Amino acid sequence: MTPATIPDLPASTVQAKRLNLPIGIQGFAKLREEGCYYVDKTPYALRLIREGSHYFLSRPRRFGKSLFLDTLKELFEGNRPLFEGLAADSGWDWGKTYPVIRISFGGGVLKNREELGQVLHKKLCDSEEQFNLPTRFADTRSRFADLIERIHAKTDQRVVVLIDEYDKPILDNITDSAVATAMREGLKDLYSVLKDADAHLKFVLLTGVSKFSKVSLFSGLNNLQDITLMPEYSAICGYTQPEVDTVFAPELPGLDREEVRRWYNGYNWLGESVYNPFDLLLLFRNRKFKPYWFETVTPTFLIQLLAERQFFTPNLSRVVAHEKLLSTFDVGNIPVEALMFQAGYLTIDSVWEIPGQMELTLKYPNLEVQASLNDSLLQHLSGGLAIPGPHISRLYRLLAARDFAGLKDLFHAFFASIPHDWYRKNQLASFEGYYASIFYSYFAALGLDIRLEDTTNHGRIDMAVLFNGEVLLFEFKVVELTPQGKALQQIKDKGYADKYRARGEPIHLIGVEFSRDSRNVVGFEVETVG
């Protein structure tokens, strides 16, 4: 799913006037009333309402889920002035309004089941006050069911239920299985109401980051349609390339559009790829390329999980997973592939299908995630924040200068700076895997074009780096103490350079040998061909 070349659009199709950037705005009314840019997602809302009634959507954090839910709320409540000029203005029956119950778990961190109960009590109180209905039950389940039924009776319209960040109380406690399980059971009690209340419901949408199994959280709710991987809803959240080119046209002058795409586009759910909205809005404001989204979703738990599962990190650039695996998530059962996909660190690259089966190949969505995640991995693998930083910037300068002797010295200094025996603390499967992972993450943290030819969990990795009109082919070997020259010879014997000769660029064959005894680079041979 390679992004298409960015076209130049006719001036008549683009936004001509600069508007306010809706940074941090999750309320549809506020966004529209304050003259902000808005990418019209109401066609998706109209389609959902027309074609069904009970939905579930998983998307990473800061992708616009809350804004979309609030758009639905304003639509069902009939606030037509907010939709002037949008698809819903002429596509919605404004003669009817519907009562809406909206519950969000997006604010704050709930630390135990008692705090969850307090929050639910407050949210149900708010809805009861909104419709002037007294509380009749003490327990959450009965109270929620009774509220839906009485609102239907009072308004003579079926109720709309919108639940935002449905899974956040669980995810916030995922490292404490006892608390996470208690949160899950409390939420399961709440969501079970939706099964028996169907006769009183007009529309239901639950959104979140993860997709917990129906058995664990939505038991019996068989009419809940998961639209996460439906191609027609791939762009329901996020901005497509045409949307960026039209809506945000006044913000684009002065920015390298291909670089904008490389940094922030690429998220895909079997349909059209999208940009992360949070990234783009901050880029337009600050005019600098930075990992804005990544800095707000520090993946500490993910990094620890990768280490515990002995995941060979170079494989992150080409993970192959079955569709069912990506949909499997529960307390105590967290596949790395599912977590990385659902949280937004990996996205869909390609699909292989046979009847009843779908196999997905995943990749980093863009430069921001590749560079930032590998920078975090490098910090973890090397033992601290202070170790990788200076070496990464120097690596870029050495590559640009073709200074291979300096490259050898750089890696020797870097490995020497890692605390003794640190690799054992990272729980990787082998010494080879540890050092190969570090080497890979070094280049990936620069956001370079890296091609992995042959990867195993033992750390034998052939890595091609395409940089500045040149090709660098690496082979890694582990030796006892002294260099053997086997790494460079293997590149030649296997003919790794052949597939790159057609590029007509210089090809540098680089054999790197690590010593098991000295725990450092002892061999670094370079030969240029082509």
Rounded CA gap, 118 and 199, in Å?
28
Task: Check: CB of residue 463 under 8 Å from CB of residue 492.
Answer: no
For the record, the structure tokens of 72 come out as: 């639905």
444: nearest Cα among 433, 436, 455, 456: 436
Q: What is the DSSP string of 155-206?
A: HSSPEEEEEESTTHHHHTTTTSHHHHHHHHHHHHHHHTHHHHTGGGEEEEEE
Task: Check: CB of residue 464 under 8 Å from CB of residue 451.
Answer: yes
Rounded CA gap, 168 and 317, in Å?
27
The tally of CA atoms less than 13 A away on the side-chain side of residue 252 is 21
Q: Where are the domains of the chain?
A: 40-233, 383-529
Rounded CA gap, 58 and 341, in Å?
10
For the record, the structure tokens of 275 come out as: 């940009």
Task: Check: CB of residue 276 under 8 Å from CB of residue 293.
Answer: yes
Which residue type does 73 have? K
* H or E segment to which residue 33 belongs: helix 28-33
pLDDT tens per residue across all 530 residues of the chain: 443 444 444 444 566 689 999 999 999 999 999 999 999 999 999 999 999 999 999 999 999 999 999 999 999 999 999 999 999 999 999 999 999 999 999 888 999 999 999 999 999 999 999 999 999 999 999 999 999 999 999 999 999 999 999 999 999 998 899 999 999 999 999 999 998 999 999 999 999 998 887 767 887 777 899 999 999 999 999 999 999 999 999 999 999 999 999 999 999 999 999 999 999 999 999 999 999 999 988 778 888 888 777 777 788 888 888 888 887 788 888 888 999 999 999 999 999 988 888 899 999 999 999 999 988 888 877 666 555 667 788 889 999 999 999 988 888 887 777 665 544 554 444 566 677 777 788 889 888 888 876 544 433 457 889 999 999 999 888 887 777 788 899 888 888 888 888 999 999 999 988 887 777 888 899 999 87
The domain 383-529 is classified under which CATH number: 3.40.50, 3.40.1350, 1.10.357, 3.90.1200?
3.40.1350
For the record, the structure tokens of 287 come out as: 């005019």
Residues with Cβ within 8 Å of 214's Cβ and at least 6 positions away in sequence, in order, are 221, 222, 224
Rounded CA gap, 488 and 497, in Å?
12
For residue 453, the SS3 value is: strand
DSSP annotation of 8: P
Task: Check: CB of residue 202 under 8 Å from CB of residue 236.
Answer: no
For residue 301, the SS3 value is: helix
The domain 40-233 belongs to what CATH superfamily?
P-loop containing nucleotide triphosphate hydrolases (3.40.50.300)
Which residue type does 66 have? S
Chain centroid to Cα 517, Å, comes to 40
For residue 95, the SS3 value is: coil
Give the bridge partners for 452, in sequence order: 463
Return left, alpha or beta for 92; rule: phi > 0 is left, psi -120 to 50 is alpha, else beta: beta
